[in-house]
Structure 1
């Protein structure tokens, strides 16, 4: 098995956690996700109410954590106008989201048609449609299959 598919390790892509996300908020988020899965599985009204309650609490906790984090950040950089400006700039002008990249069926077709043409150009003597047609007409059409003995195989 190791010869055909050797064991390899991949580094997990890590994203930097939000600085205001504490261990308590992470646990609350886990409980919220658990409640959501439970409600989706059961579809009971009681589970939906529980999920909505946890969602509301988690949302308000995150908002207050962000507020506290940025208040502290403003206090720490109150004496440095450059840092203060960078904080305000990051909050008021977040980076623009990437434009959605959409491909159409025509783009897909064009790409593969051009790829096939490039591959055909690399061959010195590519068969033409007339030679392919003449080869097809020389062989009789297949109408039935004959049985094959085990020794022939």
Structure 2
């Protein structure tokens, strides 16, 4: 039996036979279309961030005091546009995950992708996760990050 504190901690192990991340959303427990783990999501974010940093370094001088803002702006575009159109950024595609809409839409569209990416840039909404592994940015845009391959 789990201790009482584990019942509300994000990422706490579920009891055997208990609900798993994505159970309330009707997603499978494992495999394609199951909720992507935090590790894959962070790794995809890091890939996208390094891509943005590389592009910003090519476009601006490395000693430019606005380099950080350039990286953030480029990352925002490299993330929001492909997620709106294809459902995944370059880092997400590399790691086999994508952003899925909770309604029947194939992709989440431009307004929700812009809001979702802006909330990720604020960091805190992405770290506060619910029992399904979704951050505030996913809850606000009615999305979930799922595995796109096994």
Task: Tell me: higher relative CO, structure 1 or 2? Use CA pairs within 8 A at least 6 residues apart.
Answer: 2
Greater percentage in strand? 2
Greater percentage in helix? 1
Give the structure-2-normalised TM-score: 0.22
In our comparison, the structure showing a higher alpha carbon Rg is 1
